[in-house]
């Protein structure tokens, strides 16, 4: 019996993308035939980078990952998943707080749209970090160079100087 092709989306704001996100991408592509990093446009988040800037930053990082692509979207995640014929939503988990929130979201997505969610626990060295914290620490002059890809770190430094 031939195995079914599986497309997954990994949605998030990625403002900016972190080494934790990159860890989930690298481990997630081992599970799926195709992985789309889906940069969302959240009306409730105060973004530092535009969606296009985030797509460009991620595109640079994934150039050596042949089955990974990146796009932005401006609708409900489940609507985007349906448009892309995605079988799965990939999500990273860092801690128990994430588990509670993501569990509720996954149950809602399955009830509303019939789409499954697959969770990957982030590697322990990334379990404490998120994009918001990285933006805040960097804005206050802290060194976040070990928490984000080097190319993203350079763009973050430039953005914060403006």
Give me the active site residues, please: 21, 45, 94, 131
Which among 47, 46, 15 is positioned nearest to 148, based on CA atoms? 15
Handedness of CA 40, 122, 33, 66 (dihedral sign): positive
Contacts of 140 (CB under 8 A, 6+ apart): none
* Tokens 């626990």 -> residue: 121
Phi first, then psi, for residue 107 (nearest 5°) are: -65, -40
| β-sheet bridge partners, residue 10 | 37
Tokens of 136: 């805040």
Tokens of 148: 């984000």
- In degrees, to the nearest 5, what angle opens at C-alpha 53 toward C-alphas 35 and 51? 70
């Amino acid at each position: 019996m031939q195995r079914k092709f599986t497309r997954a989306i990994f949605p998030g704001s990625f403002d900016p993308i972190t080494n934790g996100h990159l860890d989930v991408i690298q481990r997630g592509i081992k599970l799926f035939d195709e992985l789309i990093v889906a940069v969302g446009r959240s009306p409730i988040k105060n973004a530092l980078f535009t969606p296009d800037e985030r797509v460009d930053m991620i595109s640079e990082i994934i150039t050596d990952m042949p089955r990974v692509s990146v796009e932005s979207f401006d609708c409900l995640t489940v609507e985007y998943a349906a448009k892309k014929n995605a079988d799965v939503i990939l999500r990273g988990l860092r801690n128990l707080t994430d588990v509670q929130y993501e569990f509720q979201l996954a149950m809602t997505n399955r009830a509303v749209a019939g789409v499954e969610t697959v969770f990957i626990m982030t590697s322990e060295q990334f379990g404490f970090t998120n994009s918001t914290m990285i933006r805040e620490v960097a804005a206050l002059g802290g060194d976040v160079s070990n928490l984000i890809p080097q190319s993203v770190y350079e763009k973050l430094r430039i953005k914060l100087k403006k």
